[in-house]
Structure 1
Amino acid sequence: MKKVLIAVLVSLSAWAAPYSVGQSVTPLELNDQFGKHHSMKVMPHTLIMAFEKGTGATVNEYLAAQGKGYLPKINAAFIADISQMPNFITKAFALPKMQKYPHTVLLIQDEVQGLKFPAEEEKITVMKFRGNFLTKIDFVTTTAELKQAIEQ
């Protein structure tokens, strides 16, 4: 059902087509796991995105091992698309768990906003930017691949 709904939304919303290399990404306004508002007028050098629970767990495991302050130090951000998660699950389980992480998790809670970003099933998306221009997209699955994509 989720895939059908996403396909319908994509076909009805041409502007929701995923960003591609060479394209300029519009500024983002997102809340983190504590409800704090973040405005990203200029994209960080590296944007890490997870669209599923399993890929999110891989990213969080990797980032937690790097310690507090890792993302700002490397000019990166982590975004988790939780738009498909039921609100009860988000509030009762996901957010309390995320609040224990030593890193910031920016949250996409609007399904259409999530469709703007490139994704592959069961993969982590790692995007590289120069200013707001998308210069590279990698899809990875393991922490070793994630580390390599981030360090490029």
Structure 2
Amino acid sequence: MKCWIWLGLALLASGAQALETGERLAPWTLSDQFEQAYTLDDDLRILLVARSMDAAKLLDAALEGQAKGYLEARQALFVADISRMPGLIGKLFAIPAMREYRYRVLLDREAQVVPQYAAPEQGVLWLQLERGVLRERRVFSDAAALRAALEQVAP
């Protein structure tokens, strides 16, 4: 019996491993807060990932005062895992509020994308990409540091 438990835990752990540097991101398509679909392509340079409301607020603080299109000019996109948000809350309050943002938010409603990157619960995960291949991963827990990193990316 204990052998089966350990085997199950080992399989779960192996399935939750983070994408490694040098690996290609698996293709996916998500809709944003305006129900516009986006399919991952090789032009994306930076993928910012948040698993929690606190992480999303951190990104919002880092982008405060930036013009519309700031992320897109840097070939960057933001993905938010909203799978734990109650559907009614999302539909009536959270997603309509996101439509006021000056940046696009790709919504991972079913936790199909975010878990494959092993994003931390706290902080924003930064995936630096080159033609769809992961080159670097960083985690930001400070809005000023995230803002400074984004400023260093040439539009």
What range describes the TM-score normalised by the shorter chain of this pair?
Answer: 0.7 to 0.9
Q: How does 1:22-41 map to 2 (within 5 A)?
A: 22-41=22-41
How many residue pairs match? The answer is 144
Q: TM-score, normalised by structure 2?
A: 0.83
Q: Matches of 1:46 and 1:20 in 2, distance apart? A: 15
Aligned to 1:81: 81
Pair 1:109 & 2:109 matched: yes
Structure 2 gap ranges (5+): 1-8
Q: How does 1:39-58 map to 2 (within 5 A)?
A: 39-42=39-42, 44-58=44-58
Q: Matches of 1:12 and 1:97 in 2, distance apart? A: 36
Structure 1 gap ranges (5+): 1-7
Q: TM-score, normalised by structure 1?
A: 0.84
Q: Matches of 1:53 and 1:107 in 2, distance apart? A: 12
Q: Matches of 1:64 and 1:39 in 2, distance apart? A: 26
Pair 1:11 & 2:12 matched: yes
SS at match of 2:116: coil
Aligned to 2:127: 127
The amino acid that maps onto 1:149 is A
User: Deviation per CA, 1:41-87, whole angstroms, max 9, x where unpaired?
Assistant: 22511111111001101212322421101111111111111111111
What percent of counterpart residues are identical?
Answer: 28
Aligned to 1:66: 66
The amino acid that maps onto 1:34 is F
The amino acid that maps onto 1:119 is A
Q: Matches of 1:105 and 1:42 in 2, distance apart? A: 19
User: How far off is 1:12 after superposition?
Assistant: 8.0
User: Deviation per CA, 1:83-142, whole angstroms, max 9, x where unpaired?
Assistant: 111111111111011011111111111224321013123111011011111010111111
Superposed CA RMSD in Å reads: 2.2
Aligned to 1:136: 136
